[in-house]
Structure 1
């Protein structure tokens, strides 16, 4: 079905077939084709929405494929987030757009079609209007995406160059499909999307990230399952469910994977995960990777690792702040996305190739600003060790001369180590790690390591993050997963194999490195950094987070509620490695 809709100047949809539509006064127009069939390699048919310029011609394509519903308005599917976005940017659905085609984590066609693009949004197999077996992140879904890109590349309205764009799930799928090298894929723009299904999504440091995937699947995915007649979602233009012809409950259950159970039943980084994680060195197209400093546990590490490890010769990294969704929709960032694609999909000489490779928001307690850099980590980094002293609960540049230890119960407040107040403004930007000597009264222990900032009055500084309030940085490690991959590990960033479980001998000391996800923070004079080590999730200001690791099946109390000990001193040099940036 094709209709002509007024776009970009707040016009209303002008129902009816294309030939009967009339332009809105003063408004730009686009052709909207709904539920367009795309046949993929095994004969299955997916459904897509296609938005394209009214003027005949061949245009570059920006595409996304995912499981959140191509026909559900952002405000209807995610009202809480929509209200936040409207407070941040009231013009999101009024300035240059009617907002009627806004979808969660997807571009607004009314901002892209007038800029000379075709926008294609595809319901993944088993979701929305696309029949089939719903299996998030699966190889079949990724192959479907490959085939959809190739379909778009040969349509009469396409110039043969396809770019992919989208947040989170739509970002994760981009890393996956780009590693398959579809011939018509010309560039990718990955916004807050992990690139390692095990380390970024499922098991942080080997600890099962229970709450988010377990709640995410029934709350955000299953309402969009194809055939779900009980869905509470309705399409605004038709008033009908967005899930196609209804199926029986038994068929619905049989037509989907049990994703949370799959994650729990694969505690190691086995072939199941590897088939769902991209071969990053195989990616060759130009890429723009945008992560969130406040995205610990989901939307930070993968953007950095993807940028570093992708085989692309032309690649850029941006790290920003704020909620999970706001930056994607702000005009400043849309302009940046379009400049990137204008260069690689349209061939415009707009200076993008002269852009700095790295653009970082440098955080301060009272704000911050973007700064450009040439590489990651920053070449001028002064890698700084702050040694833990269990006797004084301190972090100091000088290593303690006497042995000491401190013990804590895993489910309590843990133990904290503090610096002295900074005498002068000090910046830390980059990767970091905790090198710790530990012991446990049981055969395993989980380490939740949190870097925090306190002002002179003793108040903690926290930031609005992608999922919740967030401290300066967080890291995780299950002690039995301490084995590292020597080829992948860097002095500042351990890379754990997660391919075997090495249990502890109770009471014996073990040396291990905890990967703390990267950060940027400027510490003003009088402020202190504090390293908190616990056996449970850190929750800022006692506000429950969304990225929690609280599965009883993964963390039975008998093994993970023993007495935990941190050892310090000459024979057990425990330290925090920080990326200090000279003034």
Structure 2
């Protein structure tokens, strides 16, 4: 590695900003991280919006994520309006939209990525310590007024939970936009089943911008600097400077110290927070925002839930103006009414992917009417009464069986968390359950929705590995079961097990004549009738579950999972789906 000393940065005056490129931030172990700092032209001290992550501060959004940028800029012209878009980066604020409001914007390349050297180890204690020290650094610079806020989407939200729990002195507020909070339950293992997303993401979005690519990597479109550092490492040196992220996750199938390091101590998150989730974010971009809002000890906390792609709403005027009001209040002390607004802001979703804005006092919505819909194996129906006893079986690794309601007779809103109680028997050594909630129109056609990543997502999904069925009674609620995931319980062929399955929250206004359908199967939901859809930053084709698949051949070993699964239901075993019905406001 080249030994680049710290140096005085000459401001680059451009587009109404002073920009300090590639500023060094020394860490306690001698590693020097690099940041770009965007400042107003006028000298002074400003509140800071900070982000810290692996996607390379010098990689333009348009170059790194062209399909996402094309969709965003074409369908939402307000995103590109009022900006040259030369400084757009993936999942962080556009400085040209924030500098005029009197903020400093700081982007830090996380350890081992972009122009910051050392070893890549995502969400580790070392990375969280780096982030903490970057917050303190930003709070003490001559251009800073000492008030630091954190902002960003997905990865840039996930690590906010972790650093907030370390309680940096200068941290004043966090805005977590579609960022998981429980690395195990929200991200790496859904219901105890390994998600292969992280290995593919690592290959496509991190290794491609790892420090040491040097001349093999891209160049900054404005400065001409090599995005991935000035060193040219061999492939062997590159591999030595990153953990085997996918392999590490696979090697820790239960919640142990590896995962506990990556799950925040909720009691220590006390700063004001705004948590924004996506109705279509099954797999990464929803549950953690809801749980972070509920679990954090912060007295001042707000939840916002929306739809569309996970990179969209953050950049639109709608999302940016919400963030601006939040940060103006907590970083600038503006008396703008933010502290008097209701705690929950919803974009209630309709079946045509339109939305109606509504504010609520809490989550789940206090006036929720919890409706039990019972599984009827003989009729394959979801009914309001417990049916006569019966069973239905399916291939344990197959598409499963579907239960449908009668057509709705009136417009019905379903908004909130869902849960299923099932009685399950298997002939295999273990059993994976994949639950998919769908909406069917009057002709029986499955309606899909714009998901956080997949353009054709179902209403919601849930997962559970039978050997992970043990609940955490202290945290579980009827509408939100929480599993321990600390060890495997025995699964014996011929034994019927009662299990609770969490389905991630959803919001739907269902018109008369439409139906709900619950599929219980043994594999990821995929709609074979969808057109081939691929995106530049993901490996797999989008077929309804996005990149959040569960197809690892080791974790999903056919020798363990092949067999027949039987669902039992009836008066002694009232299998049911618990659904949050929202009465019309009086």
Is TM > 0.5 for Structure 1 vs Structure 2?
yes
State which of 444, 452, 457 in structure 1 corresponds to 2:443. 457
Q: Give me the CA root mean square deviation.
A: 1.2
Within the alignment, does 1:183 sit opposite 2:169 as a pair? yes
- Compared CA separation, residues 148 and 183, structure 1 to 2 (3 A): same
Deviation (angstroms), 1:54: 1.4
Cα distance between partner residues in 2 of 1:2 and 1:73: 22
Partner residue in 1 for 2:205: 220
Q: Deviations over 1:279-331 (max 9, x none)?
A: 12210100000000000001000000000000100000000000010101101
Give the match for residue 573 of structure 1.
Answer: 574
CA offset at residue 131 of structure 1?
A: 1.0
Within the candidate set 6, 10, 19, 2:14 is matched to 6
What secondary structure sits across from 1:64 in the alignment?
A: strand
Q: Is the 8 A contact 2:123 2:159 kept in 1?
A: yes
For 1:298-377, list aligned pairs within 5 A: 298-366=284-352, 367-377=354-364
Match of residue 555 from structure 2: 554
Q: Which residue of 2 aligns with 1:90?
A: 77
* Contact 1:88–1:326 (CA under 8 A) maintained in structure 2: no
Q: Tell whether the 8 Å contact from 2:471 to 2:484 is kept in structure 1 after alignment.
A: yes
Partner of 1:235: 220
CA distance in 2, matches of 1:64, 1:482: 37
Please state if 1:48 is matched with 2:35.
yes
Structure 1's unaligned 5+ residue stretches are 8-28
Match of 2:372 among 385, 403, 413: 385
State the distance in 1 between where 2:234 and 2:399 align: 48
Q: TM-score, normalised on structure 1? A: 0.94
Is 1:201 the counterpart of 2:187? The answer is yes
Residues 1:231 and 1:82: Cα distance change in structure 2 (over 3 Å): farther
1:58 corresponds, among 45, 65, 74, to 45
Q: Aligned-pair distance for 1:220?
A: 0.1
Residues 451, 488 of structure 1: CA spacing in aligned structure 2 closer, same or farther, 3 A cutoff? same
Distance in 2, matches of 1:238 and 1:299, equals 33
State which drifts further: 463-472 or 299-308: 463-472
1:140 aligns with 2:126: yes
Q: Is the 8 A contact 1:404 1:567 kept in 2?
A: yes
Equivalent residues in 2 for 1:422-437 (5 A)? 422-437=408-423
- Kindly provide the CA deviation profile for residues 216-264 of structure 1, in whole angstroms up to 9, marking residues without a partner as x: 0011001111112364422112444311122222221111101000010
Indicate the residue corresponding to 1:24 in structure 2: none
CA distance in 2, matches of 1:563, 1:119: 56
| Secondary structure, counterpart of 2:214 in structure 1 | coil
State whether residues 2 and 31 of structure 1, in contact with CA within 8 Å, keep that contact through their aligned partners in structure 2.
Answer: no
Partner of 1:409: 395
Match of 2:466 in 1: 479
CA distance in 2, matches of 1:88, 1:369: 19
Count, aligned residues: 559
3-state SS in 2 of match to 1:69? coil
State whether residues 179 and 279 of structure 1, in contact with CA within 8 Å, keep that contact through their aligned partners in structure 2: yes
Using the TM superposition, give the Cα deviation of residue 42 of structure 1 relative to its aligned residue in structure 2, in angstroms: 2.5
Q: Return the offset for 1:91.
A: 4.4
Q: CA deviation at 1:3?
A: 3.5
Partner in structure 2 of residue 23 of structure 1:
none
Task: Write the deviation string for residues 470-492 of structure 1: whole angstroms up to 9, x where unpaired.
Answer: 11110000000000001011111
Deviation at 1:411, TM superposition (A): 3.3
Q: Summarize deviations over 1:374-416 as a string: whole Å, max 9, x none.
A: 000111111111110101101111111x210000013333100
The gaps in structure 2 that reach 5 residues or longer are 1-8, 531-541
In structure 2, distance between residues paired with 1:558 and 1:525: 45
> For 1:444, what is the secondary structure of its paired residue?
coil
Within-5 A mapping of 1:9-24: none
Corresponding residue SS for 1:537: coil
Q: Is the 8 A contact 1:431 1:493 kept in 2?
A: yes
What's the TM-score, normalizing by structure 2? 0.94
Distance 1:503 1:34 in 2: 57
Checking the alignment, whether the CA contact within 8 Å between 2:471 and 2:483 is kept in structure 1 is yes
Q: Residue 192 of structure 1 corresponds to which residue in structure 2? A: 178
User: Contact conserved, 1:223 with 1:233, CA < 8 A, in 2?
Assistant: no
Structure 2 SS opposite 1:326: coil
Measured in 2, the distance between the counterparts of 1:91 and 1:473 equals 29
Question: Matched residue of 2:488: which SS?
Answer: coil
SS at 1:308's partner residue? helix
The CA distance in 2 between the partners of 1:114 and 1:4, in whole Å, is: 17
SS in 1 for 2:236: helix
1:398 and 2:385 aligned:
yes
The partner residue of 2:270 within 284, 299, 318 is: 284
Q: Give the Cα separation in 2 of the matches to 1:396 and 1:46.
A: 58
Measure the CA separation in 1 of the matches of 2:500 and 2:13: 56
Map residues 62-77 of structure 1 onto 2, 5 A cutoff.
Answer: 62-77=49-64
What displacement does 1:186 show? 0.1
Distance 2:162 2:507 in 1: 28
